Amino acid sequence: MHIVAIVIAVILIIFAISCIKVVPQATTFIIERLGTYKTTWDTGIHFKVPVIDRVAKKITLKEKVADFAPQAVITKDNVTMQIDTVLFYQIVDPKLFAYGIERPISAIENLSATTLRNIIGDLELDQTLTSRDIINTKMRELLDEATDPWGIKVNRVELKNIIPPREIQVAMEKQMKAEREKREAILIAEGQKEAAIRVAEGEKESAILRAEAKKESAIREAEGQAQAILAVQEATAKGLQMIKDVQADKGLVAIKSLEALEKVADGKATKIIIPSEIQGIAGLATSVKEIVKD
C-alpha cells in the first residue's frame, strides 16, 4: 500500500513538473486551451493547466534569413534573366504568425518572386543592372506591407545575383573591352598631346632666349662701335684743339700733311694725288733745304 502511494506521489510530482515551462530569451510560446488560442508566453517561468492547456507553437523572435532560389524574370526590352534574392525578416507578432497564414515562408518566397517580376518588367536591361538599390528598396516596401497581416516585418531585401543570358554576357564583355580600349586610346592621345605641348613650349622658350642673346650681343657690339667712333672723334677733336692752341700756320699744316702722305706711301708704288697748294709748299720746303746746305 505504501509503495503504491509512493508511486502515485512520484507520478504526480513528475506530472506537475512537466506542467512548468521555462521560455528562453528571444522566444515566445503560443498557448492554446482546448484548441483555442489562450495567450502568448514571453521569456520566464510559466505554468500550464494539465490536459487543458498545451504549447501550440514555439516561435523565435530573432531575425532570420531566407535565401530564395533564382527566379526567371523578363525585362521591359524582353531579355530573360535569372535573379535570386536574399530576404531578412523578423517575427513581430507571434499570434498573427501562428494563425495568419499556413507556411508563411513559402508564401513569402512566392510573393517575392511575383513582386520581383513586376518590378523588373518595368525596367530595361541596363536599368536592371544599374538599379540594384532601387529594386531592393521597392521590394522591401512591398513585401513588408504584404507580410504585415502575418506578423512578419521585412527588414531588408538584397538581389544576390543577376544572371543575364550567355549571349548578353558576351556582348557586355565586348562592350566593356571596347570601352577600356577607348579610354586607353584617349589617355595615350592626351599624353602625346601634353608631350607635344611641352616640347613646343620648350622650343619657344629656347628661341626666345636665343633671340634675346642675339639682341644683347648686337646691342653690345653696337655700343662698342659707338664707343670706338666716339673715342676717334674725341682724339681728332683733341688734335685739332691742340693745333689750334699752338696757332699753327698753313705751311706747317701742309708740311705735316706731306709727312703723313710719305708714311702712307711707305716706299711702295702707290699713286698719290697731291693738291696744288701742298705741291707749292713742298717745292718751297725743298728750296729752303738747298739754301741751308749752301
Tell me, yes or no, whether 82 and 147 share the same domain: yes
Cell 530595361: give the residue: 124
- Grid cell, residue 9, equals 506521489
Domain end marker among 60, 77, 105: 60
Is 122 in the same domain as 209? no
Q: How many Å separate Cα 119 from the centre of its chain? A: 33
The region that residue 151 occupies, defined by phi over 0 for left and psi between -120 and 50 for alpha, beta otherwise, is left
Whole-number Å distance between alpha carbons of 36 and 40: 12
Q: Are residues 55 and 71 in the same domain?
A: no
Q: Is residue 240 domain-shared with residue 255, that is, in the same domain?
A: no
74 and 23 in a common domain: no
Note whether 73 and 140 are same-domain residues.
yes
151: domain CATH number? 3.30.479.30
Show which of 164, 192, 210 is a domain's final residue.
164
Judge if 243 and 256 occupy the same domain. no
Residue 125 and residue 153 in contact, taking contact as beta carbons nearer than 8 Å: no
**Do 9 and 55 have their domain in common?**
yes
The predicted pLDDT at position 231 comes to 77
Q: What is the pLDDT along the chain (294 residues), one digit of tens a residue?
A: 677 777 777 777 777 777 788 888 889 999 998 888 999 988 888 888 888 888 888 999 999 998 888 888 888 888 888 888 899 999 999 999 988 888 888 888 888 888 888 888 888 888 888 888 888 999 999 999 989 999 999 999 998 888 887 877 677 777 777 888 888 888 888 888 888 888 888 888 888 888 888 888 888 888 888 788 887 777 777 766 666 666 555 555 555 555 555 555 555 545 555 555 555 544 544 544 444 444
Which H or E element spans position 86? strand 80-91
- Tell me the C-alpha distance between 22 and 29, whole Å: 10
Contact between residue 159 and residue 133 where contact means Cβ atoms under 8 Å apart: no
User: In angstroms, rounded to a whole number, what is the distance separating the alpha carbons of residues 104 and 95?
Assistant: 13
* pLDDT at residue 250, as a whole number: 57
Domain enclosing residue 53, as ranges: 2-60
Contact 173, 150 (CB under 8 A): no
> How many domains does the chain contain in total?
4
For residue 139, with 0-12 CB atoms within 10 Å meaning exposed, 13-18 middle and 19 or more buried, which class applies? buried
Per-residue pLDDT at 89: 93
